[in-house]
Amino acid sequence: MAIGKRIIETAMENGATLAGIASMDAIKVSASHTIYTKMGDYTGIGTVKGDDTLPDTQLFTWPDSVKSVLVIGLSHPENKPELDWWDGRGTPGNRILIDIIKRTSQQIENSLNVKTRKIHYYVEKGGVFLKDAAVLAGFGCIGKNNMLITPSTGPRIRLRALLLEDEFHSTGPIAFDPCADCKVYCRRVCPENAMDEKAPIFKTIEFSERLPGRDGTYNREICNVRMEKDVTESKKNKVGKQPTIKYCRKCEFVCPAGKKAGGQ
């Protein structure tokens, strides 16, 4: 059996909902990696700011030996909202993903003799843009809500990746675009109107609307206003020392692609 297929099976056996492989060369020229350095210095919730466990000097400097990337996804259904709750150390869902990556890395190094490199979540610390990597690995497409949408989970999925020091056949991208026939509920449900118009930076950047990018009609700074409110709300309602933060997921849960995937 091809080694790439065994790698994917190993990740699935370890609990991944989806797993696939993307070419590192394709990731390097994908939409987010191409435009990121033109976007200025954004520092809001969910960015590298405040995480000083590693220096911020590893932006897009992956070793030449890395040829492919294993991407894994974990379903975050509506009936398990706690997977997404921020508890000061991260989220339970992300800890599961990290554990799947750890076990998969050990197993494929030991039994398949493939050298791996674990990566940080943040691109500034050596990570890759996970949504671009997931599209290239064949998970689905970027939706008009700026999230990864897959045929089996809609946008209700979270991602991690593992670098591989061998060339493997890429498992994507796939032809999938649920937004084409949709009434675009995501952009209408946003309480902050974060998707009402193209973000200013995208008006000045020449940007392809081809997958895996969309069209820049999502303003992260405006969405961040909602996240700040969610933090304040959580602090008000906290039980114990550490508040559990439940960030807005309205544009995610309203998406019919997620509902079709079992309503979970």
What are the angstrom distances between the C-alpha of 58 and each of 62, 115, 193?
Answer: 8, 20, 34
Tell me the H-state helices in 137-246: 185-189, 200-204, 220-236
Instruction: Tell me how far, at minimum, the Cβ of 147 lies from ligand SF4, in Å.
Output: 7
Residue 69 and residue 128 in contact, taking contact as beta carbons nearer than 8 Å: yes
Q: What gap in Å lies between CA 261 and CA 150, rounded to an integer? A: 9
Distance CA 99, CA 33 (A): 26
Nearer to ligand SF4, 166 or 177 (CB): 177
CB of 54 to ligand SF4, least distance (A): 27
Q: How far apart are CA 194 and CA 227, in angstroms?
A: 12
Shortest distance, CB of residue 77 to ligand SF4, whole angstroms?
16
Gap between the Cα atoms of 259 and 264, Å rounded: 7
Query: How many whole angstroms from its chain centre is CA 173?
Result: 16
- d(CA 187, CA 154) in angstroms, rounded, equals 16
CB of 135 to ligand SF4, least distance (A): 14
Phi, psi dihedrals of residue 117, rounded to the nearest 5°: -135, 125
Of 112 and 254, CB closest to ligand SF4: 254
Q: Which is nearer to ligand SF4, 112 or 248 (CB)?
A: 248
We find the least distance from the C-beta atom of residue 193 to ligand SF4, in angstroms, to be: 8
- Whose Cβ is closer to ligand SF4: residue 3's or residue 184's? 184
Least distance in Å: CB of 214 to ligand SF4? 9
CA distance 144 to 214: 7
CA 123, CA 71: separation in Å to the nearest integer? 15
Q: Which is nearer to ligand SF4, 130 or 179 (CB)?
A: 179
CA atoms of 184 and 195, how far apart (whole Å): 10
Cβ-based nearer residue to ligand SF4, 117 or 229: 229
Chain residues that interact with ligand SF4, rule: CB under 6 A: 143-145, 149, 178-179, 182, 184-186, 189-192, 194-195, 223, 226, 248, 250-251, 254-257
CB of 248 to ligand SF4, least distance (A): 3
Residue 69 or 245 with smaller CB distance to ligand SF4: 245
Place of tokens 């996240």: 227
